[in-house]
Amino acid sequence: MARRYFGTDGIRGRANAGVLTAATAMKVGQAAGRHFLRGDHKHRVVIGKDTRLSGYMMENALTAGFTSVGMDVILTGPLPTPAVALLTREMRADIGVMISASHNKFADNGIKLFGPDGFKLSDEDEEAIEAEMERDQDLAQGEHIGRARRIDDAKGRYIHAVKQSLSDDIRLDDLKIVIDCAHGAAYEVTPTAIWELGAKVIPLGVSPNGRNINDGVGSTDLAAIQARVLEEKADIGIALDGDADRLIVIDEKGQIVDGDQIMALIATSMARRGLLKGGGIVSTVMSNLGLERYLAAQGLELVRTKVGDRYVLEAMRAGDYNVGGEQSGHMILTDHATTGDGTIAALQVLGELVRNGATASELLHLFDPVPQLLKNVRYDGGDPLAEASVQEAIASAEGELNGSGRLVIRKSGTEPLIRVMAEGDDEAQVHRLVDSICNAVEAAA
C-alpha cells in the first residue's frame, strides 16, 4: 500500500506543518496504542525525545493519544534513540517512541517506533498503524484512561548499559577525547559515560537551546570538531548526530573517518577475537567498493541492502550477523543493542585504540576508498526517475562503467531528493557520470 506517513525511518518532516503536527502525533499515539493493546496485562509505552523545541509539543500530543486508548506512558526526557529502544525492552513496555529528526536541523522533527523487543517496527506493523490512523478510534472508558509518569533515572540506566559493552580490562585513562554531541540527545550521557571510563573529555555541542541541534556541530557538520581536535592535540574526536544513533570519528590529524572505515575496524577486530558472526557484515548499497574489497581480502563477506538502518538490521537478523551499519555512521552491534548506537560504537573504537597502542590515524584507515561521488537533486513532484531521458542517461553510465564500478540512483526516503551516486577506479569518469545523470534528472524534474 502507498504510505502517507511512514518513510524509511519512521515519520519525519517539518514540525507543525504537513503531516507532522500535534494532531498527527495524537493519532499516531492512538493508532499505535490500539495496535499494541494485546493481552490482558497493563499496557505501557516509553517516550523519549531529542532537544528540539517542537519535542515538547510532540511529547504532549503522543501522551494524549496513548493515554486516551488506555496505555500508561513513561516519559524519559532527552535521551538517545538507542536508549529508548533499551528501556522499552528493559521496562517490559509494549512500544517505544523516539521523537527526533536525527541529523536534520531543528525545524524538522520525527517519530520513530520500537516494538516490545526493542527493534524498529516492521513494514507490516507500520502499515497496520497507518490503516488504524484512518479509522475512528475506540477510546478508553473513563476508569481505563492511561496515566503518564516521568522517570528520573533513565540517563543513568543508559550510561550503565553502554559501559557494559566495553570489556572490564579496558580503561581509557590515557586518552584525550573531543566529544561532539550536536547539541542533541546525548549531550549529557555520552560525555559522562566516557569520562567515567577514565578519559579526559573535551565536550562540544553540549548546550542545547531547542534551536541549535545539528547547527554547525555533529556528525554532518564536522569542521568544528576537526578544529577542536587539532587545537587540543586530542587523540581522537567522536561526533554524534542529534539522536546519537550514528557516529563519525576524527583522527588526531583532523581527518574524517566514516562509517565504512569504522565497520572495517570493528569487524576485523571481532573476527580476530572469534566474536564476529555470519562470516562478515551487513551494510547498504552506499558503502564504498573499497570496503568490500578490503573485507574480501580478510576472508569476510559484505552483504548489501537498500538504504536505511532498518533494512540493515533485518538482513543482520535473517543471516545471524552481529555487525552492520551504514557509511553515514549508523553502527549496529547486536551483541549490545537492538538499533544503531553511536556511543557503543565509539567505545568499541576507543577499546581498539587501547588494545593496539596505535594512533587513530594508524588504526582507522584500513583501506583506500574507491573514488565515490554522491549528489542530490531536489524535485517538486512526479517521478523524474521514470522519465525516458533519465533512464537513458543511467543506462549510458552503466554501459560506460561496464562492471568496473557501481551506480546507485534512488529517491530519498525523508526528503524530495533524487540521490545520484557513482564509484569506480577512475575519479574523473565518476564525476562526469554523476553530473550527466544529475543534469538529466534536473531537466526532467
Residues with catalytic function: 102
Do the beta carbons of residue 71 and residue 43 sit within 8 Å?
A: yes
Do the beta carbons of residue 404 and residue 397 sit within 8 Å?
A: no
Reported as type and span, the H/E element at residue 85 is helix 81-90
Of 139, 244, 256, 230, which is closest to residue 178 (Cα–Cα)? 230
Of 269, 205, 203, 190, which is closest to residue 234 (Cα–Cα)? 203
Q: CB neighbours of 102 closer than 8 A, spacing ≥ 6?
A: 9, 12, 81, 110, 241, 242, 243, 245, 246
> Left if phi > 0, otherwise alpha if psi is -120 to 50, otherwise beta: which for 223?
alpha
Could you tell me what percentage of the chain is helix, strand and coil, using 3-state DSSP and rounding each to the nearest 5? 40, 20, 40
Locate 366 and state its grid cell. Answer: 584500513
* Beta strands at 280-284 and 301-305: parallel, antiparallel or unpaired: parallel
* Distance of alpha carbon 112 from alpha carbon 309, whole angstroms: 12
